[in-house]
Amino acid sequence: MHRTFKWPELLTDNGKGIAYGGDYNPDQWSEDVWDDDVRLMKQAGVNTVAVAIFSWDRIQPEENRWDFGWLDRIIDKLGKAGIAVDLASATATAPLWLYEKHPEVLPQDKFGHPVNAGSRQSWSPTSPVFKEYALTLCRKLAERYGTNPYVTAWHMGNEYGWNNRYDYSDNALNAFRLWCERKYGTIENLNKAWGTTFWGQEMNGFHEVLIPRFMGADSMVNPGQKLDFERFGNDMLLDFYKAERDAIAEICPDKPFTTNFMVSTDQCCMDYADWAEEVDFVSNDHYFHEGESHIDELFCSDALMDSLALGKPWYVMEHSTSAVQWKPLNARKRKGETVRDSIAHMAMGADAINFFQWRASAFGAESFHSALVPHAGEDTKLFRQVCELGAALKTLGDAGVQGTELEQSDTVILFSAESEWATRSETLPSMKLNHWHDVRDWYRAFLNAGTRADIVPLKYDWSAYKTVVLPTVIMLSAEDTQRLADFAAAGGRVVIGYAT
C-alpha cells in the first residue's frame, strides 16, 4: 500500500507553483559566491533547490565534531529569497575518516575486492556499523532543521544502488541467508526453487546458501540464485532507505519524503514499484538519449513514472541542461531542447523540473557536466534558455497546470522489474533479450501508429484497460497468469510478445 501522497510546498503566498531548480552544492564554492547564486536563481525563476546531498564530510568533519554553521547560513539565504530547500540526508557518501576507522563498511565486488572510498555509495547497505553512523546523521539533521520553515521536503540518500547495487561482502552473505530463510521457510523449498540438484548443488541448511561470487571465467550462475540475489539487493537498499526515512520521521513527521529513482530505458535497476510505495511523492533522475529516439525515450520513461506515482504529480529531480560527462561520446542538447524536454516531462505528469546541477563544477569528476549556470556564466545562450524556461514554468503554474493528471489510455504495456532482471541471465536461448528495451520498442510502435499506451508495473492493477501487452515478460507467477486469463475471459485483449 502506498504512503499518503504529500507534495512539498513552495515558499510562495499559497505554497503552490511548478517547482523549478536543481541540485545546489554551495560547499563546492567559497561563501562570496553564494549571494551571486541567489541573485541568479531569482533572475532565472528558480524556487527550489536540493542541498547537502554529498555534504556529510562538511557536516561531520570528525567523528566527534559537527559543523552546521555553513548549512544554516545558506538555508537562511535561500529561504529569505523565497527559494525552498529539499534537504538531503547526506548519506550518499561518507567522510573519509569513517572509512579509515571502519573499513568493514565497504562493499565488495564479486571477486572479493573492496569497493574503495573516493567515489559515491562506497558502503554496504547491510553493514550495521555504517547504518549506525548514517542514522545518527539523519537524527542530527532532523533535530536541527525539522522545524525550519525554509526546509519543505526531505531528500533521502541519492540514487540508491548507483555503486552498491551488488554487494558480495560477508555482511551481504549473512543478510542474504536470512532473507532466503524468510522467503522460503525451509531449505527444501529453496532447493526446489533453485533446482539445486543440477550440478550437485543441494544445500543441507541455510548456512550453506551462497551469494553468486566469482566462480570462474566461463562459469554460469544458477539463474534462480541470481534472480533472488537481484531481489535481495533491491530489498536491502529499500530497507536502508526506510531506516533513514523513519529516523527523521520520528523527529520530523510532517514534511514529505522522497528519493530519486533512476528510470530511463538504459537503466531501471530497482523494483521501483516497491519503492514508490515508500515515498510521499515520486521523483526521478532522467538523462536524455541523443539521436532520433530522444523524445520518444523520454515519453516512455515518463509513462512508467506516471504509473509509479499512481497518476499523481511527480518530480523530475535531475535532468541535464545539455551534455553529460559519463558517456563515451557526450552530445549536447540542440537549441530549444532544454525547454522542450522540460515541458515534455510536464506533459507526462511532472510538476517539478529540476536539473543537476545549479552551477557547473570547477573541478572533480563532473566538471564537464552541463548545469543551469555554465562555466561561462550568465551571459550565455544556455543561461538565457534557463531564464526562458523559468518564465514558461511560472506561466504554466499561474495558469493552474499544477495538480492536473494524465488521461489514461485504453492500452497498457506491462513492465516487470523481475523480467528485466531475468533477461540479464547468461543462460537463456538468446543473450539479446531485454524486457525494458522491448517495453520501449512497443511504446514507440504505438506512438508511430498515432496513439499512446500507458506503462504499468505488472504487480499493479491494470484491469480497467481494454488491451494489455506483455513484451518479453519472462517471469509470470501463477497469480498473474490467472489475472491475465480472467482479463481475457472478461473481453480484454492480451497481446503476448516473444519470450513471454
Q: Active-site residue numbers?
A: 159, 318
Q: Give CA separation, 24 vs 55, 233, 256, 342, in Å.
A: 11, 30, 19, 19
Using CA atoms, how far apart are residues 344 and 177, in angstroms rounded to an integer? 45
For 358, counting Cβ atoms within 10 Å of its Cβ (0-12 exposed, 13-18 middle, 19+ buried), the class is buried
Crossing angle, helix 337-347 and helix 381-398, to 10 degrees? Answer: 30
Whether residue 142 contacts residue 245, with contact meaning beta carbons closer than 8 Å, is answered with no
Q: Which among 332, 316, 281 has a CA at the least distance from the CA of 21?
A: 316
Q: Which among 211, 215, 118 has a CA at the least distance from the CA of 171?
A: 211
SS3 215: coil
Using CA atoms, how far apart are residues 97 and 275, in angstroms rounded to an integer? 31
Whether residue 457 contacts residue 415, with contact meaning beta carbons closer than 8 Å, is answered with yes
Q: Which among 8, 1, 4, 2 has a CA at the least distance from the CA of 351?
A: 8
Amino acid letter for position 157:
G
Query: Based on C-alpha coordinates, what's the Rg of the chain?
Result: 23
The two counts, helices (H) then strands (E), for the chain are 15, 13
Whether residue 22 contacts residue 50, with contact meaning beta carbons closer than 8 Å, is answered with yes
Residues facing residue 181 across a β-bridge? none
